[in-house]
Chains A and B, each alone.
Chain A
Amino acid sequence: MNYQELIVKNLDRILDFWLLIDDKGRVIYCSQLIYRELGYCEADIIDQPFQIFFPANDPGSADYLYQLLFDSYSGSVVNQKTRIKLKNGVIIDIELSLYQLDTEHNYILIAFNNITEVVEIRKKVKSKIESLYKELNLFDSRTIYESIQDFIDTILVSITAGQGLRFNRAFLFLVDEDEGILRGIQAIGPGSGEEAGMIYSEFDSAPKTLSEMIERYKLMNDTDSAVNTILTDVQINLSDYQNVLIKALSSQKYILISDEYPLINEPSVIWLREMLQVHECAVIPLLWHGRSTGVFVVDNQVTRSQITTHDIKGITRYAEAATNALESAKLMNSLDMSINQIKQANLKIRESQEILVQKEKLAVMGEMVAHMAHEVRGPLATIGGYASRVYKQMDESDHHYDSISRIVEVVGTLELVVNDILDKSMPEEEVTMGCDCSKAINKVLNILEEEIHLRKVSVSMNIQGDLPDINIKEHHLFEIISNLVRNALEAIDNDGLLLVLASSIDNHVVITIQDTGAGIKSDVEGKIFSPFFTTKKEGTGLGLVVVKKLVEENNGTIQVRSVLDKGTTFIISFPVEPDGVENGG
C-alpha cells in the first residue's frame, strides 16, 4: 500500500492550504487550494524555494520561520502569524504552522489558513474603537452612526473582495427586535455581468489592499445601486418560522440553497431565489453570544461558481467576526449614549452642588454675622448707657455736649442696625411636620421605664391605631407628655396605676394621662398652672407652667380633673392638621 499516495491525495480533505518542503526548502507537493485560491500554477511552485510565497520586501520571514522550527523542542511551530503574497501580488495575512516530519530527510509540512478578513476586521475595529474613545469628549450622534455604517461597509466589501471571501454578492439582513422583524439593510455586488467584469479586471491590474477597497466602496456610496434596491423594504416577521431566512436565524445553522436543497419548493425559497435572481445562494446566520442578530445571503450570481463547503466555512467564521464587530459598534453606540446621559446628570449634580455650597457659605456667613451682632450688642449697650449718663448731666452750654450727644445718637443708630441684621438672620421658623403622638408617648414610657419599675407602677396604654398626625414640634410634645407622666409617677409614689390614652375625637387628637395618686386639693386645683406653684417639697414646679405654655403655643388645650386620694387626670387636646398642609415657613 502506498501510504504516501494515500495521505497526499487525502490531505486536502483535512487541511486547506499546505505545502510539503524538502530538505533544501523546495516545494515538493502542495494542496489544490493553493492553485485555486492563490492563483499559482504548478510551474510557479513545484521545485521552487518556499521563499517565493513571501513578499519581496520581506524575504527574511521564511528564514525566521525555519529558525523558529529548528529551535523548537517539539519540532513544530504552530499558528505563527505572517503574510504571504498571491500570484497577483496581493498580500494576505495568514496563520501558519510548520511541522518537521522526518528528521532523517528534513521534510517539513507547512499548513496555513487565510485570516486576512479576520485581521482586517480586527484592525478596523481596534482603530475605530480607539478613535471613538478619542471622540468621546466631542460626542456627536452622527459620528456613531457613521461607525456602524463603517462596519457594515467593511463587512460587505470583505465578503466580496478579491482578498476576502470572494463571493460575487452579499446581502445583509439585521434583526430589529423592537419591530419584531428581519430587515434588509445593505447589499454589495455588481448589478450585471458587464459591471462585474469591469470590476474584476480592474482589481487584477491594480491589486488593492482590503482597506483601500473599503475606502473606495464608501466613496461610491451606491445606496441606489441595483443590489441595494432589491433589499429596499424587505421585512420578514420574526415569527414567520417557515421562512428560510428565519429558519437559518433560529436554527443558527447555515442553509445552502441549491438545486439539491430538500425544501426547494418552499414558498420563501422560491421568493428568495426570484428576488435575487439566482439559483444557488447561502444563508449564513450572524450569531452574537448565542443570539441571532441577522443573516448574510451570499451568492455567485455573476461567475456562477459553485459555493463549496470551504466557502461556507470561511464565511461562517467571517460571520462571527463580523457580528462581533457590529455588536461592538452597537454597544459603543449605547455606551456613548449612556456616557452622554451620565455627563448630563453629572453636570446637573455639579450645578446643584455649587448651589448647595453657595447656600452653605451664605448660611455660615449668616451665622457668623449673627454671632458678631450678638457679641456687639452688650458692649454697645454699655457705651450707649454710659454716654447717656454723661449726656443727661450736661446742658447745651457744656463744652463736651456736642461730642456726647453725637455718641449717644450714633450708638442708637448702631443698635438699630444690629437689630435689623439679627431680625433678618433669624433662622426660619422650624417647619412643623405632622407629628405622630404614639411615637412621643412610647419614647417617654421607654425613658421612664426604670422609674416605673422601681415605683412598682402598672402602666396601661391604649393608643388608637390610625391616630392622625398633629401639628406640633415633636420635642414639644415629648416635653409635655414627659412632664405629665413624671408628675403622675410622683403623685402615685409607689404601687399605683398609670393610664395613657390617645384617640381621635371630632377632628382632634385627645391624650389622657391618668394616675391613681394623691390627687389635688380642690382649692389649689385652679392654681396648678401658675408659675412656681407646687405642693412638692422639692422640684421646680415649673413643669406644669411649661406644659400649659407649650400646649397653648401649639393651639391645644389642657384640662385637669382630680379627686383627692383617688387620682388625677390630665386631658390635652390638639387639632388634627388638615391633609397635606404643613405649618411654618
Chain B
Amino acid sequence: MADKKRLLIIDDDKNMRELLELEFQDQDYAVITAENAFDGLQVLKNESVDLVVLDIKMPGMDGIEALEKIVSIYRELPVVIHSAYSHFKENYLTWSAVAYVIKSGKFDELFETVKTHIG
C-alpha cells in the first residue's frame, strides 16, 4: 500500500486550517498544518512533504516571501497558492507556484489541482 501523500497547509485562519485538514483527510491525504510561514518552514526542515497549500495574506512573513523561500530551498516541491485575494493571480511574483486557487466553500478546484500535481 502506497504511503499517503503528505500535505503541508500554511494558513493563519484557524477555522480554514482545520477545515482543510478534515477535507484532505477525507480525501486520504496526510495533513500537517502550520499557522504561519516560519512554522511552515520549520516543518519542511524536519518532515517530508509532498505539496504545500499556501495562503498569501498572513502576518509576519507573507505568502509571497514564503513562496520564494520554499521554492529556493526545496526546488522540486510544488506549492499551491490558496487565497481569498485575486490580485496576485496575474502577478508574476506568484508564477513559481504551480497553481493559484481562490478560496471557496467548494473545494473541488483545490482537490483537482492537488491531485494533478501529486496524485
Are B96 and A382 interface neighbours, CB within 8 A?
A: no
**In the assembled complex, B112 has its CB within 8 A of some CB on chain A:** no
When the two chains form the complex, which single residue of B16, B75, B104 contacts A532, counting CB atoms closer than 8 Å? B75
Q: Specify which chain A residues have a CB less than 8 angstroms from the CB of B22 in the assembled complex.
A: 389
Find residues 383-398 in chain A having any chain B CB closer than 8 Å to their own CB.
383-389
**In the assembled complex, B118 has its CB within 8 A of some CB on chain A:** no
Q: Specify which chain B residues have a CB less than 8 angstroms from the CB of A389 in the assembled complex.
A: 19, 22-23
When the two chains form the complex, which single residue of B15, B84, B95 contacts A375, counting CB atoms closer than 8 Å? B84
B-binding segment of A25-33, A154-162, A330-338, A540-548: A540-548
Also in contact, A378 and B92, with CB within 8 A (given A383-B105, A388-B105, A415-B104) = no
**In the assembled complex, A448 has its CB within 8 A of some CB on chain B:** no
Distance A426 CA – B87 CA, assembled complex (angstroms): 8
Q: Closest Cβ of chain B: how far from A166's Cβ, in Å?
A: 89
Q: Specify which chain A residues have a CB less than 8 angstroms from the CB of B86 in the assembled complex.
A: 374, 422, 426
**In the assembled complex, A365 has its CB within 8 A of some CB on chain B:** no
Are A538 and B72 interface neighbours, CB within 8 A?
A: yes
Q: Closest Cβ of chain B: how far from A473's Cβ, in Å?
A: 10
**In the assembled complex, A479 has its CB within 8 A of some CB on chain B:** yes
**In the assembled complex, B13 has its CB within 8 A of some CB on chain A:** yes
**In the assembled complex, A60 has its CB within 8 A of some CB on chain B:** no
**In the assembled complex, B102 has its CB within 8 A of some CB on chain A:** yes
**In the assembled complex, A578 has its CB within 8 A of some CB on chain B:** no
- Chain A, interface residues (CB within 8 Å), range: 35 or more
**In the assembled complex, A11 has its CB within 8 A of some CB on chain B:** no
Q: Specify which chain A residues have a CB less than 8 angstroms from the CB of B95 in the assembled complex.
A: 542, 545-546, 549
Also in contact, A540 and B16, with CB within 8 A (given A426-B86, A546-B95, A550-B92) = no
Q: Specify which chain A residues have a CB less than 8 angstroms from the CB of B76 in the assembled complex.
A: 532
Residue of B nearest to A423 (CB): B86
When the two chains form the complex, which single residue of B13, B16, B105 contacts A411, counting CB atoms closer than 8 Å? B105
Q: Mark A525-556, 1 if CB is under 8 A from B, else 0.
A: 00000011110001111100110011001000
**In the assembled complex, A564 has its CB within 8 A of some CB on chain B:** no
Residue of A nearest to B16 (CB): A382
Q: Specify which chain A residues have a CB less than 8 angstroms from the CB of B19 in the assembled complex.
A: 381-382, 385-386, 389
**In the assembled complex, A39 has its CB within 8 A of some CB on chain B:** no
**In the assembled complex, B71 has its CB within 8 A of some CB on chain A:** yes
Q: Specify which chain A residues have a CB less than 8 angstroms from the CB of B72 in the assembled complex.
A: 538-542
Q: Specify which chain A residues have a CB less than 8 angstroms from the CB of B16 in the assembled complex.
A: 378, 381-382, 385
Find residues 75-110 in chain B having any chain A CB closer than 8 Å to their own CB.
75-76, 84-86, 92, 95-96, 98, 102-107
Residue of A nearest to B105 (CB): A384
Distance A533 CA – B92 CA, assembled complex (angstroms): 17
Q: Specify which chain B residues have a CB less than 8 angstroms from the CB of A476 in the assembled complex.
A: 92
Are A388 and B106 interface neighbours, CB within 8 A?
A: yes
Find residues 1-52 in chain B having any chain A CB closer than 8 Å to their own CB.
13, 15-16, 19, 22-23
Distance A412 CA – B106 CA, assembled complex (angstroms): 8
Also in contact, A378 and B13, with CB within 8 A (given A385-B105, A542-B96, A545-B95) = yes
Q: Specify which chain B residues have a CB less than 8 angstroms from the CB of A357 in the assembled complex.
A: none
Q: Specify which chain A residues have a CB less than 8 angstroms from the CB of B75 in the assembled complex.
A: 532-534, 541
Distance A187 CA – B4 CA, assembled complex (angstroms): 114
Are A415 and B71 interface neighbours, CB within 8 A?
A: no
Distance A514 CA – B106 CA, assembled complex (angstroms): 49
Residue of B nearest to A476 (CB): B92
Distance A533 CA – B96 CA, assembled complex (angstroms): 11
When the two chains form the complex, which single residue of A374, A411, A534, A541 contacts B84, counting CB atoms closer than 8 Å? A374
Distance A377 CA – B102 CA, assembled complex (angstroms): 9
Q: Specify which chain B residues have a CB less than 8 angstroms from the CB of A549 in the assembled complex.
A: 92, 95
When the two chains form the complex, which single residue of B15, B85, B92 contacts A382, counting CB atoms closer than 8 Å? B15
Are B84 and A540 interface neighbours, CB within 8 A?
A: no
Distance A375 CA – B83 CA, assembled complex (angstroms): 11
Q: Specify which chain A residues have a CB less than 8 angstroms from the CB of B105 in the assembled complex.
A: 380-385, 387-388, 408, 411-412, 415
Are A532 and B71 interface neighbours, CB within 8 A?
A: yes
Q: Specify which chain A residues have a CB less than 8 angstroms from the CB of B92 in the assembled complex.
A: 476, 479, 546, 549-550, 553
Distance A545 CA – B104 CA, assembled complex (angstroms): 29
Q: Specify which chain A residues have a CB less than 8 angstroms from the CB of B68 in the assembled complex.
A: 540, 542
Are B96 and A384 interface neighbours, CB within 8 A?
A: no
Are A382 and B13 interface neighbours, CB within 8 A?
A: yes
Distance A386 CA – B17 CA, assembled complex (angstroms): 12
Also in contact, A540 and B103, with CB within 8 A (given A382-B13, A385-B19) = no
Q: Specify which chain B residues have a CB less than 8 angstroms from the CB of A377 in the assembled complex.
A: 84, 102-104
Residue of B nearest to A426 (CB): B86
Are B104 and A546 interface neighbours, CB within 8 A?
A: no
Find residues 352-409 in chain A having any chain B CB closer than 8 Å to their own CB.
374-375, 377-389, 408
Q: Specify which chain B residues have a CB less than 8 angstroms from the CB of A415 in the assembled complex.
A: 104-105
Q: Of A383, A412, A532, which is in contact with the most chain B CB atoms at under 10 Å from its CB?
A: A532
Residue of B nearest to A388 (CB): B105
Q: Specify which chain A residues have a CB less than 8 angstroms from the CB of B102 in the assembled complex.
A: 377
Residue of B nearest to A425 (CB): B86
Distance A422 CA – B86 CA, assembled complex (angstroms): 8
Distance A375 CA – B85 CA, assembled complex (angstroms): 8
Distance A380 CA – B106 CA, assembled complex (angstroms): 11
When the two chains form the complex, which single residue of B84, B96, B98, B107 contacts A385, counting CB atoms closer than 8 Å? B107
Distance A389 CA – B75 CA, assembled complex (angstroms): 35
Query: Can you list 25 A-B pairs, Cβ within 8 angstroms, ordered by A?
Result: A378-B84, A381-B19, A382-B13, A382-B15, A382-B105, A384-B104, A385-B16, A385-B105, A386-B19, A387-B105, A388-B105, A388-B106, A389-B19, A411-B105, A476-B92, A531-B96, A532-B75, A532-B96, A534-B75, A540-B72, A541-B71, A542-B71, A542-B72, A542-B96, A546-B95
A388-B106, A540-B71, A546-B95 are known contacts; what are 19 more A-B pairs with Cβ within 8 Å?
A375-B84, A377-B102, A378-B13, A378-B84, A381-B16, A381-B103, A381-B105, A382-B15, A382-B105, A384-B106, A386-B19, A389-B23, A415-B104, A476-B92, A479-B92, A538-B72, A540-B72, A545-B95, A546-B96
Closest A-B pairs by Cβ, 4 of them = A384-B105, A377-B84, A532-B75, A540-B72
